[in-house]
Structure 1
Amino acid sequence: MVHQYKNNGYDIVLDVNSGAIHVVDDVTYDVIEMYAARENVADTSAEEIVTALSGKYGKEEVEEAIDEVQTLIKNEELFTKDTYENYMMDFKKRPTVVKALCLHIAHDCNLACRYCFAEEGEYHGRRALMSFETGKKALDFLIANSGNRRNLEVDFFGGEPLMNWQVVKDLVAYGREQEKIHNKNFRFTLTTNGVLLNDEIMEFANKEMGNVVLSIDGRKEVHDHMRPFRKGAGSYDLIVPKFQKFADSRNQDKYYVRGTFTHNNLDFSNDVLHLADLGFKQISVEPVVAQPTEDYAIREEDLPQLYEEYDKLAAEMVKRHKNGNDFNFFHFMIDLEGGPCVAKRLSGCGSGTEYLAVTPWGDLYPCHQFVGNEDFLLGNVDEGIKRQDICDEFKCCNVYAKEKCRNCFAKFYCSGGCAANSYNFHGDIHNAYDIGCALQKKRIECAIMIKAAEADEE
């Protein structure tokens, strides 16, 4: 399987199964397209291609391109076979260990974000703060279920985790003690809206947090509309100076400013560039996931404009890179040489198997987006996993279990997409959220183009 597209002046060909990427000229692009039109590439006639394209390019040029394409095919860099599907049979049976927890340290929040899937921190339930005792049991559960894996991750999440800051600090201290006893290494991370951020918290986070996510949507009018306080006032002016100071204190590394764009700001590339112009170097602005009944939901008719926005952003990033004023955009970050292992490429984030969410009272769910849906209640930190059948279903969640993914060029980059989004839109974790898929494919195309532009500079 190959995927061909043109972007920002580059003719790009992706060989899906090998991951090989070729930046080609127009004639080679058209030759490959004629090969791809055949059900069996071996049946492609060189004479037929020469006849079809010589009027456009000239016979010698077409013949030279055909030779190049045939060499790539021979070297297994083009039209390669899928060697992973059979691997999945054993992959489903693989033993798994828990390696990451999302600790819902606070089911409460001091903002009233309009698009919040967590209902201002309540998660379809009640407001609550996690106790130190429950948090300790969660860390003990993680250690006990991590097998031989040494590196473990714990994300302090909410609601707003800073509303329960003392427990965060106490759990980090407890985790550091347990590291020595059990030969483990905890990587703690934190997601915050910044309202309660202060110098003491920044200092502690810089010492103990491997990554920090700072929530901001972009331009002041966009951010304040979607992320106000409960009485309606905006939060932009309060958090921006704090976030700038925090990012600088982390040497512009190991953090993200993370925003959400909606139907209300389809020109979201301006929000990304606004954040870059504020000095932030690590940026993630992602599409809202919401039911069509919400006025801010992304709609299918929004896609053409959003494609243009991604193209515009990618071209601007190429320009800024050349000028030495670049920044990282999370959804355009792609590793074409190494990247995730095969297991992660095929099955994604590991929700429900390797990654679990813990509520303030110690219930276990496949991930933070399933919290509150008791159909996905796995167990609790006292008794452990009680619904292994749910975990087994998530273990089978991979790109070959999803009809929409099997023949998609993006499958080894997106790993089948988000199980929670699939369930929320289709009632099935083995489906895919269509608007999310469309945008993901566009982002991958832009990311590869950026890599091509960088290679062009060398």
Structure 2
Amino acid sequence: MSLIHRYQSNGYNIVLDINSGCIHLVDLVTYEVLPCMENELSTEEIVERLKDRFSPEEIRTSVSECEKLKEEGMLFTRDIYESAIDEFSKNSRPVVKALCLHIAHDCNLACRYCFAEEGEYHGRRALMSFEVGKKALDFLIANSGSRRNLEVDFFGGEPLMNWQVVKDLVKYGREQEKLHNKKFRFTLTTNGVLLDDEVMEFCNREMSNVVLSVDGRKEVHDYMRPFRKGAGSYDLIMPKFQKFAESRNQDNYYVRGTFTHHNLDFSKDVLHLADLGFKQISVEPVVAPDEEEYAIRKEDIPQILDEYDALAKDMIKREKEGKGFNFFHFMIDLTGGPCVYKRLSGCGSGTEYLAVTPWGDFYPCHQFVGEEEFLMGNVDEGITRPQIREEFKGCNVYTKDDCKDCFARFYCSGGCAANAYHFQKDVKGSYEIGCELQRKRVECAIMIKAALAE
């Protein structure tokens, strides 16, 4: 198992010490010396191997400097947490800290790639009642232990189709905060069709974050996100989204898009959104079965990787010109090393995070809703199938075979369990295309930090 990952990007020789998270920008001598050291060659053996390219003095100096970094715990570090995973899994008591409330299993758009089937989720159209939502919040409070900060996402379908219940549940949550010493962080995801001044005003007062669904350029968006009768939605939503983002001072929101096989040049969609003034942007790859005409295929990967490189370079240029923006998939915290807790607990679906249907059923996350084998319980009875929770408790980088030799494993926490299940029928599996793209995004994020630190 490799302890370092090295790569070249945009003129930089970059080395990641996988287990500590330390990042090194090195000269070409050190770039070539490091794999020799990892293979435990002696200094003289390294000199002999590289003498045709570098002088013996350069090589010995490089080895000496790398040895110092190794002694300081910044290079070739070992993973001290892997041995703790069994004890952690056995002794950790699940604490629920977040709910995804499916406030509306209905939608006023007919997006081609929607995993929610226009909001129906393999089932029926329905709106969540205030009573069901209230019980869900009560469940969250009761099962959150001593944790004070709790998160609730209003999701769909389209949440604004059940707007009064959203407002009523926020009011109820605020009342409960004082009684139980809790603090709710409410968020909302919307397609913008029903967005108006009253909604914006309420969200700016009560919602910690809003996700605004838009795919980028008009032709891309209108093709993938039409109304049910076929008309595009771009012209209706875009002015409202621009107004909303400005009203939030270009913070605490995302314009969130999906790219597909039809727009593999998605960097143009990201830059289109940036040119419209948006500062918080997320455009993510569609996850779909191969038989779907819009699905991303293995042969698409080289172009997608090139797009990430092009986007990263453009972001550096714009940042230096004072026109920078955030791109969600390049926003990786590289300062404190990989998060220990995320190493051991994964993404938290099925344990810390649950999705709630309009009629009050619990699922591990929104992407499992409607798949009965993952029905965990309901708001009246609580968790009735704890074995599902135990299964998800074991989803982490140490239990997934495909993660063991992946340099990016501590940044994605093992990836998405739903994607793994849908492609390998195993929540401890992986989604190969997603993994390749994730590795590239980590590389780009590191390179951007390096370039902007100069």
TM-score by length of 1: 0.97
Distance in 2 between residues matched to 1:352 and 1:82, nearest whole Å: 26
The CA RMSD measured in Å over matched residues stands at 0.9
Distance in 2 between residues matched to 1:77 and 1:65, nearest whole Å: 15
Q: Which residue matches 2:246?
A: 248
- Asked if structure 2 preserves the Cα contact closer than 8 Å seen for 1:346 and 1:416, the reply is no
Give the counterpart of 1:115 among 91, 113, 116. Answer: 113
Q: Which residue matches 2:162?
A: 164
Q: Which residue matches 2:59?
A: 62
Q: Residue type matched to 1:352 in 2?
A: G
Q: Which residue matches 1:16?
A: 18
Distance of aligned partners of 1:434 and 1:208 in 2 relative to their CA distance in 1, 3 Å threshold? same
Give the counterpart of 1:148 among 146, 157, 161. Answer: 146
Q: Which residue matches 2:379?
A: 381
Unaligned runs of 5+ in 2: none
Q: Which residue matches 1:90?
A: 87
Distance in 1 between residues matched to 2:10 and 2:347, nearest whole Å: 31
Q: Which residue matches 1:292?
A: 290
Q: Which runs of 4+ in 1 moved over 6 A?
A: none
Q: Residue type matched to 1:217 in 2?
A: D
Give the counterpart of 1:237 among 235, 248, 251. Answer: 235
Unaligned runs of 5+ in 1: none
- Asked if structure 1 preserves the Cα contact closer than 8 Å seen for 2:21 and 2:337, the reply is no
Deviations 1:104-156 (A, max 9, x none): 00000000000000000000000000001111011011111111111000000
Deviations 1:159-186 (A, max 9, x none): 0000000000000000000111111100
Q: Residue type matched to 1:106 in 2?
A: A
Deviations 1:356-412 (A, max 9, x none): 000000000000000000100000000100000000110011101000001210110
1:2 to 2:4 alignment: yes
Q: Which residue matches 1:51?
A: 48
Shift of 1:341: 3.8
Query: Which residues in structure 2 correspond to 1:169-248 (within 5 Å)?
Result: 169-248=167-246
Q: Which residue matches 1:348?
A: 346
Query: Which residues in structure 2 correspond to 1:281-360 (within 5 Å)?
Result: 281-338=279-336, 341-360=339-358
Shift of 1:340: 6.7
Q: Residue type matched to 1:29 in 2?
A: Y
Q: Residue type matched to 2:30 in 1?
A: T
Shift of 1:59: 2.0
Deviations 1:407-433 (A, max 9, x none): 210110000000000000000000110
Aligned-partner SS, 1:210: strand
Aligned-partner SS, 1:264: helix
Q: Residue type matched to 1:153 in 2?
A: E
Shift of 1:348: 2.6
- Asked if structure 2 preserves the Cα contact closer than 8 Å seen for 1:346 and 1:411, the reply is no
Distance in 1 between residues matched to 2:256 and 2:241, nearest whole Å: 11
Tell me which moved more, 74-83 or 247-256.
74-83
Aligned-partner SS, 2:50: helix
Q: Which residue matches 1:395?
A: 393
Equivalent pairs counted in the alignment come to 451
TM-score by length of 2: 0.98
- How high is the sequence identity, in percent, across the aligned residues? 74
Give the counterpart of 1:34 among 23, 33, 36. Answer: 36
- Asked if structure 2 preserves the Cα contact closer than 8 Å seen for 1:346 and 1:412, the reply is no
Distance in 1 between residues matched to 2:337 and 2:216, nearest whole Å: 29
Deviations 1:218-261 (A, max 9, x none): 00000000000000000001010000000000000000000000
Tell me which moved more, 114-123 or 77-86.
77-86
Aligned-partner SS, 1:338: coil
- Asked if structure 1 preserves the Cα contact closer than 8 Å seen for 2:20 and 2:338, the reply is no
Distance in 2 between residues matched to 1:430 and 1:166, nearest whole Å: 39
Deviations 1:244-297 (A, max 9, x none): 000000000000000000000000000000000000000000000000000100
- Asked if structure 2 preserves the Cα contact closer than 8 Å seen for 1:212 and 1:254, the reply is yes
